[in-house]
Structure 1
Amino acid sequence: MNLFNSPLAITTIFIFIFLTIFTPHKATAATCLPDEEAGLLGFKSAIRSDPSGILKNWIPGTDCCKWNGVECHFNSTRVQRISLTGQPDENPKSILSGTISPTLSKLRLLDGLYLFDLKNISGPFPTFLFQLPNIEYVYLENNNLSGRIPENIGNLTKLYALSLVGNRFTGTLPSSITELTHLTQLKLDNNSLSGTLPKALNKLVNLNYLSLEGNHFQGTIPAFSSNLRSLRLSRNNFSGGIPASISKLASNLAYLELGHNSFSGRIPDFLGKFKALDTLDLSWNRFTGTVPASFANLTKIFNLDLSNNLLVDPFPEMNVKGIESLDLSNNSFHLGKIPKWVFSSPIIFSLKLANCGIKMKIEDFKPSETFFYDYIDLSGNEISGNAISLVNSTQYLVGFWAARNNLKFDLGKLKFGERFRVLDLSHNAVFGKVPNSVVGLQKLNVSYNHLCGQIPKNTFPASAFVGNDCLCGSPLNPCKKPS
C-alpha cells in the first residue's frame, strides 16, 4: 500500500506544512550575537533601580536591536550605539541607579555611548571604552560619575566628541587629551576639575566647541585652534588678562564666555574684530578701563554681559541690529539715559542696567518692542515717573527690579502676568495698597515707600514691607480695629 495515498499520511503532511508556515519561530537574522546580548544584559544587571522601566524590554532572546536605546548598524544585528535619556524635570522616576557595566566591551562595533540625565549612574570613568576600537562619541552627561579622568585618555584617538557634563569628576585635565586630534567637541562643565589647562590644547585643530564651565580651573588661558566657534570658561578661577592669542579666533568665534573668574586688565581692542560674535560674557571679573570703541563693529552680537567689573565711561555707541540680552550693571558707568540702540531692538528679552548712572523719566523709555521682555533691572539709578505702562505692556515678564530710584505710582495698578515671579520696588515713592495679586510672587520687596492699608495674607518676611507709611497685618503689626 502506498503510504502517501493514505488519509493518515495526507493529514500528517498537511499538519507539518501548516505548523511550518504558521508557527512563530525565532529568525536568526533578528537576534543579536550571543556575546553582544550578554554585554547588554550585563549592563542591565548592574542597574539596581529602574523605576520608570527604561530597560523593561531588554529581555533575553528578543531582538536587541529593538530594545529601548539600542541602535544597530544598518541591515545588521551588530550594535552600533547605546542612547539612554532620563527626563528628571518631567518625570522624577525617569532615572537609573547603578553602575556602567564593563560587559559593554563585548560590543565590538559600538561607536557611540550616550547616557543623558540618568542622575544616579555612579562609579569611575568607564575604562572599558579603551577596549572598543570604533568608539567615536561619548556623552555621559548629568549622572553621578566621579574620580579622575584617566591619564591615558589620549588613547581614545578616534573620538570626535567627549562630554562629561554634570558629574563629580576631580583632579586635573590630563595632558594626553591633546592627542585627541579628531575632537570637534569637548564638554566638561559642572564637575570639580582643577589645576591649569594643558598648554598644547591648540593641537586640537578640529575642535570647534570647548566648554569647561563650573569647575575649579586656574591660571591663564592657553592658545586654541583658530577653528574654535565656542569657548566657554565661565565660573572657574582663571586669572590674568585676555591673551593676544585669542585674537586668532576672530574669524570663527561666536561664543566667548569668561564670566565669574578673576580676569583683570583692560578689555582688548581686538575683540571688536570678532565679526561673528553672538555672545560675549566678561561679567564678574576685575576688568578695568573703558570698553573699546571697536565694540561698535560688533553688529551681530545678541548677548553682551559686562556686569560687575571696574569699567568706566565712556561706553561706545553700538551698531547692533537687535540685542537679546544686555547687562552693564555695577560698573562705574554714567550712561545718563538708556541707550537708543537698546530702544530699537525688536527682540530684547533681558535688560539689566543696575547702578549705571541713568537719570531720566521712565515714561521716556519707549522700546520698540516690550512683549518679549522677561527681565528688567534698573535698580540704583535716578529714574523717576510711573512704571505702570512699561510693566503692564510686557507679556512674559518674570522679574522687575527698580529699587533705589524715584518712581511714583499706584502699586495697585500693576498687572502681574502668569510668569511674573520677582518684584523689587524698595526705596521709591510708590503709594496705594498692596494688591492681593502679590501673593503669587516668589520674591517681593516693597519696603520704604508710601504704601498704606492691610497687607494681604502672604508668606513674605517683614523686611519686604517695612518702612512704609501705614501698612499693617502679618508679617507686620496687626491692623487696629475701628473704634
Structure 2
Amino acid sequence: MRTKFGGTAMVLVLCFLSLLLLSPVALSEKCNPQDKKVLLRIKKELNNPYLLASWDPHTDCCDWYCVECDIKSHRITALIMQSSVPDTNLSGSIPPSVGDLPYLENLEFHKLPRLTGPIQPTIAKLTKLKYLFIEYTNVSGPIPPFLAQLKNLQLLHLSTNNLSGPIPSSLSQLPNLESIHLDRNKLTGPIPESFGSFKKPGPDIILSHNQLSGPIPASLGQIDPERIDLSRNKLEGDASVLFGSKKRTQILDLSRNLLSFDFSKVDFPKQSLIWLDVNHNKIYGKIPAALTKVENLQQFNVSYNRLCGEIPQGGTGRLQDRFDEYAYLHNKCLCGSPLSKCK
C-alpha cells in the first residue's frame, strides 16, 4: 500500500506542477509590480479603452501593447498610445498617473481625437523623459512652463492640438533639446527672445499654422538649426537674421506672414539649403545673385511679395529653368524667364 500510495502521490504532485507551469500567474513576471499598478490606474483613468485591451492584470505588463520595458531593470521606459481608428473609445484627459512611472523616457499620445484637457502637471515628475509627443489630439490650454524642468528632453512635439496662449520663454532652458514642434495650434503672442539662447546649434523650430505675431527676435540669428518653419502666422518686420552663408540651414519656410525686409541684402547657405519659401509677405528688393550658387535647392517660392528686377541667370542654382512662373508671380516688377522679358 505504501508503494502504491507513494506512486499515486508522486503522480498528483507532477500533475499539479504541470498545471502551475501552464498557468500565466505562475510564470516568472518581469514587470515591476509598482509600474503595473500605475498602468492599470492609467487604463481606468482612460475609461478602459479597447486600445488597452491587452492590459490584463493576470499577465506580464512587459508584454502589453503600448508599453516598453527596459531589458535589464524591467521598468517601464515607454508609453506609446496611438490609434488609427477614429472612433476609438479612449477618452478623457491625459491620465495624471503617467507621472508615477519614474523610469519613463518616451511618452506619446498620437491620433487620439477624444483626448482632451490640459497637459498634466504630473509630467514634470518624469525627470528621465527624452521624448514627449502629444499630436493630433484635442488637448487644450497653455503650453505649461513646467516642461522646462525636463532637462533630459530631446524632442518636444506638441503639433496639431488645441493649445493656446503664449509660448513659454522658459523652454529655452532645455539643454538637450534637438527639435521643438508647436505647429498647428492656436498659439498667440511673440516668439520668445530667449529662443536665441538655446544651446548651439539649437533645435529645429517648427511654429507654423498658429497666430503668432510681432517681430522675429534678432536673437534667433545666434543659433543655427537645420530647419525653421514659421509659416502661416502674423509675424512682421525683418527676418534677415535667419539667413547667412555660413549657416547649415536646410529648410527655411517664412511664407504667409507680414515680413518686410530687403531680400537683396541676404546671403544663403550654398551647400545645405534645399527649401526656401517666403511667399505671401511684403519682401522687397531684388533676388540676390548669390541664390544662383545654391547647389541643392529643390523648393523655392518668392511669389506675392514686392520684389523687382531681373531673375538672376546661370549658376548651379539655375533659378530660371528649375522653377516655373508660379515661384515668382505677383511681385511688383520681377521680370525675366520664366516670367516675361525685362523691358
- The change in CA–CA distance for 1:139 and 1:357 in structure 2 (over 3 A counts) is same
- Structure 1 residue aligned with 2:110: 116
- The change in CA–CA distance for 1:138 and 1:323 in structure 2 (over 3 A counts) is farther
- Structure 1 residue aligned with 2:139: 145
The letter of the residue matching 1:150 is: P
- The change in CA–CA distance for 1:105 and 1:266 in structure 2 (over 3 A counts) is same
- Structure 2 residue aligned with 1:294: 290
Tell me the distance in 1 between the aligned counterparts of 2:247 and 2:68: 38
Contact 1:171 1:195 in 2 (8 A): yes
Tell me the distance in 2 between the aligned counterparts of 1:284 and 1:44: 47
- Structure 1 residue aligned with 2:190: 196
Matches within 5 A, 1:18-417: 18-23=15-20, 24-25=22-23, 26-27=25-26, 29-48=28-47, 50=49, 53-87=50-84, 91-94=85-88, 96-206=90-200, 207-222=202-217, 223-224=219-220, 225-243=222-240, 245-247=241-243, 250-317=246-313, 319-320=316-317, 323=322, 327-333=327-333, 335=335, 337-338=337-338, 356-357=339-340
Contact 2:185 2:210 in 1 (8 A): yes
Matches within 5 A, 1:417-456: none
Contact 2:153 2:177 in 1 (8 A): yes
The letter of the residue matching 2:45 is: A
Shift of 1:173: 1.1
Gaps of 5+ in 2: none
Tell me the distance in 1 between the aligned counterparts of 2:299 and 2:199: 27
- The change in CA–CA distance for 1:228 and 1:328 in structure 2 (over 3 A counts) is same
Q: After alignment, is 180-189 or 194-203 more displaced?
A: 194-203
Tell me the distance in 1 between the aligned counterparts of 2:215 and 2:122: 34
Contact 1:35 1:106 in 2 (8 A): no
Deviation string 1:224-276 (CA, Å, 9 cap, x unpaired) is: 35441001100111111123x32458431101110111001211533334431
Specify the SS of the correspondent of 1:117: strand
Contact 1:281 1:304 in 2 (8 A): yes
Contact 1:147 1:169 in 2 (8 A): yes
- Structure 2 residue aligned with 1:387: none
Tell me the distance in 2 between the aligned counterparts of 1:60 and 1:324: 60
Tell me the distance in 2 between the aligned counterparts of 1:70 and 1:186: 24
Tell me the distance in 1 between the aligned counterparts of 2:153 and 2:176: 6
User: Which one scores higher on RCO, CA 8 angstroms, separation ≥ 6?
Assistant: 2
- The change in CA–CA distance for 1:128 and 1:249 in structure 2 (over 3 A counts) is farther
Shift of 1:203: 2.1
Shift of 1:94: 4.9
Tell me the distance in 2 between the aligned counterparts of 1:158 and 1:324: 42
Tell me the distance in 2 between the aligned counterparts of 1:129 and 1:171: 20
Tell me the distance in 1 between the aligned counterparts of 2:89 and 2:168: 30
Q: TM-score, normalised by structure 2?
A: 0.89
Specify the SS of the correspondent of 2:160: coil
The letter of the residue matching 1:307 is: S
- The change in CA–CA distance for 1:358 and 1:123 in structure 2 (over 3 A counts) is farther
- Structure 2 residue aligned with 1:403: none
Contact 1:265 1:287 in 2 (8 A): yes
Tell me the distance in 2 between the aligned counterparts of 1:336 and 1:275: 25
Q: TM-score, normalised by structure 1?
A: 0.64
Deviation string 1:389-424 (CA, Å, 9 cap, x unpaired) is: xxxxxxxxxxxxxxxxxxxxxxxxxxxxxxxxxxxx
Shift of 1:144: 0.6
Contact 1:305 1:327 in 2 (8 A): yes
Shift of 1:337: 4.4
The letter of the residue matching 2:289 is: A
Shift of 1:309: 0.9
Tell me the distance in 2 between the aligned counterparts of 1:335 and 1:217: 33
Q: Percent same amino acid at aligned positions?
A: 26
Shift of 1:211: 0.3
CA RMSD of aligned residues (A): 2.5
Deviation string 1:330-368 (CA, Å, 9 cap, x unpaired) is: 224554543xxxxxxxxxxxxxxxxx4479xxxxxxxxx
More helix by share: 2
Contact 2:31 2:69 in 1 (8 A): no
